[in-house]
Structure 1
């Protein structure tokens, strides 16, 4: 009974990990937007974010992976430097800049194209198994498209207000795009889209790097360290005349840096790497639209925000899409297991047994012949 529970938990670990990530990202979006609205520089936020992530993750990497950490090579170090540039420098800065120009909800909505971009890139690089004639591959393709489509429905279509459980939402979100003008919305959209491509490249490269450097905690610590250095250089250049941008007090700015650093950088890089080992980069990014569903549900229950029919239908489409992807990818990991060892072992065993029997019979024949020769020699002496 205990063995079955352990097997079930091991199968559920990737799902628990990616769902936890989406809850973490939902909190980060709200806190980061509040910090940026108070005048915090996005470049400085990225640097402090990775400093706190490094402080949180480095001790675990040093202690827990002391014996299993692979040797650092030049090619691995170059990959880690590129990882640190793609995510901490390009993606996060562009995401925060896009959020500055728009809103947190708009930024989350735009980021839902990430699963589709990652899926296409993984397919091209053969990191994702896709056979169009297979029903499981079709489920992955349609599921990925459904998650993106559901996110777009939640973003673009409102419909009538749903008064669930007798609640009456506030009217604070009735303005189109949350009061964002068209010019800023276009700028923000371009920045967030470029950030999505950078994040997709990061996911693919992390999956490749983890194969040659299978130490998730150490890889996380390296990304945070180099991300701090590279992001710090960019921040010093961009904020060279604004030294006050580096000051932190006990307020939302500090909370945003600590929370996003520990949860959304340190723990996120580690969980992503661990899940990618088993399920690949597409599995991790497919759950991204779930963040939008979480934000909508939390906003409805805790902030008394209005729930529109479009958001409700979009959330259902996302859930269906996630189920299709999970089902399709689940078959990828069930099919190969019985093929590798079963037909080989019996053949080896029979060959070894037959060789053993032949050696044993040869040994007995040699003994008999030696005994016979000895007996003949004895007779001749007599």
Structure 2
């Protein structure tokens, strides 16, 4: 894992993940506008993924020329699984869950991603887990602190520290409207079982978190066998976009769903270039350096970034709960980063000791 979080590129990877969360925060604001005017979720994802693939493929072809390992059958299955979980399942379940609930529900479930990722990575052996060591205890504590910070931001509002006390994020709860009509056929079976739409929405949002966690956990070992990160991201989007486009063809009944307005084109350009091609490229590269558990810990920063961007561009206020939650998230990230740094130091000390202990002859 190239130092497992330390080294010359470690600070760049941390900065990249913070940038990714800022772009994802902007994505939430932009997508609300597109979905509010009635754009079909699957069509939106299909255009977004096709655009991302068209950006990633030529760049990966040039950047990774001569450095790409041969593609085997097992790698193709791994690419398919990454596209299925990280692109198709992750994006679609999030938008479906958002349609049946509201942005507050969607934001409340995102802190589950680092928890699920930590569990998956530990089961797969990607993340070291020894409950008797201080480093593992600190990683668990840091994860809990980070998730708690996100929970504080979502539960506690507090007084307004900046602005006039208006919060556009709360008004956004009513933006989703009747988006569920686009996928009513999909949920009819669950509705017959007695579940309400919000129950289905929460299940979809939790499925979104599981998909993203599985994507990050599997991507780490795949990167060891296929270290060309840009090409790996392009292959992931190839299968994700293919699955999304096929689903769009079979599930949309009206050709008008594929006709876009100006605001929808802007949303797709932002989602396809920034929150897809650039963000997933940075996530893959950072995963190779930091590991899946630490990469996932940046997800709770999304509500904080959304609040800051809303304050800067939409005139929303910043409340005390956002400041306290953001402080806890940063503290949690620091604890996990420091624990990973200590693990790497101990690992290098043990390696040096083993080399010195070996006989010269």
TM-score (normalised: structure 2): 0.86
> Contact between 2:49 and 2:272, CA under 8 Å: does it hold in 1?
yes
Residues 299, 279 of structure 1: CA spacing in aligned structure 2 closer, same or farther, 3 A cutoff? same
Q: Secondary structure at the match of 2:347?
A: coil
The aligned counterpart of 1:170 is 166
Residues 25, 176 of structure 1: CA spacing in aligned structure 2 closer, same or farther, 3 A cutoff? closer
Query: Offset at 1:318?
Result: 1.6
The aligned counterpart of 2:114 is 115
Q: Secondary structure at the match of 1:192?
A: helix
The aligned counterpart of 1:197 is 210
The answer to whether the aligner puts 1:283 opposite 2:273 as a matched pair is no
Query: Offset at 1:111?
Result: 1.2
The 5 A counterparts of 1:228-243 are 228-239=241-252, 241-243=253-255
Task: Give the whole-Å Cα distance in 1 for the aligned partners of 2:317 and 2:21.
Answer: 22
Q: What are the superposed Cα offsets for residues 211-241 of structure 1, whole Å, 9 maximum, x if unpaired?
A: 11111111111111111111111111111x2
Task: Give the whole-Å Cα distance in 2 for the aligned partners of 1:153 and 1:171.
Answer: 16
Task: Give the whole-Å Cα distance in 2 for the aligned partners of 1:117 and 1:297.
Answer: 27
> Contact between 1:151 and 1:289, CA under 8 Å: does it hold in 2?
yes
The aligned counterpart of 1:12 is 11
Using the TM superposition, name which of 195-204 and 124-133 deviates more: 124-133
The aligned counterpart of 1:362 is none
Query: Offset at 1:298?
Result: 2.8
The aligned counterpart of 2:237 is 224
Query: Offset at 1:290?
Result: 0.9
Q: Extract unaligned runs of 5+ from structure 2.
A: 1-5, 178-194
The aligned counterpart of 2:320 is 309
Query: Offset at 1:146?
Result: 1.4
The 5 A counterparts of 1:284-363 are 284-340=295-351, 344=355, 350-351=360-361
Task: Give the whole-Å Cα distance in 2 for the aligned partners of 1:270 and 1:301.
Answer: 26
The aligned counterpart of 2:277 is 266
The answer to whether the aligner puts 1:83 opposite 2:82 as a matched pair is yes
> Contact between 1:80 and 1:223, CA under 8 Å: does it hold in 2?
yes
The aligned counterpart of 2:35 is 36
> Contact between 2:83 and 2:239, CA under 8 Å: does it hold in 1?
yes
**Superposition RMSD in Å:** 2.5
Query: Offset at 1:89?
Result: 1.6
Query: Offset at 1:13?
Result: 1.2
The 5 A counterparts of 1:25-174 are 25-159=24-158, 161-164=159-162, 167-170=163-166
Task: Give the whole-Å Cα distance in 2 for the aligned partners of 1:216 and 1:174.
Answer: 38
Residues 346, 218 of structure 1: CA spacing in aligned structure 2 closer, same or farther, 3 A cutoff? same
**Bigger Rg, which one:** 1
Task: Give the whole-Å Cα distance in 1 for the aligned partners of 2:211 and 2:287.
Answer: 17
Task: Give the whole-Å Cα distance in 2 for the aligned partners of 1:179 and 1:264.
Answer: 21
Q: What are the superposed Cα offsets for residues 307-336 of structure 1, whole Å, 9 maximum, x if unpaired?
A: 333333222222221111111122222222
Q: Extract unaligned runs of 5+ from structure 1.
A: 1-6, 352-382
Query: Offset at 1:280?
Result: 0.9
Residues 183, 311 of structure 1: CA spacing in aligned structure 2 closer, same or farther, 3 A cutoff? farther
Q: Secondary structure at the match of 1:305?
A: coil
Task: Give the whole-Å Cα distance in 1 for the aligned partners of 2:200 and 2:243.
Answer: 24
Query: Offset at 1:279?
Result: 1.7
**Equivalences, count:** 339
Query: Offset at 1:78?
Result: 0.8
> Contact between 2:25 and 2:309, CA under 8 Å: does it hold in 1?
no
Residues 214, 126 of structure 1: CA spacing in aligned structure 2 closer, same or farther, 3 A cutoff? same
* Higher RCO (CA-CA < 8 Å; seq separation 6+): 2
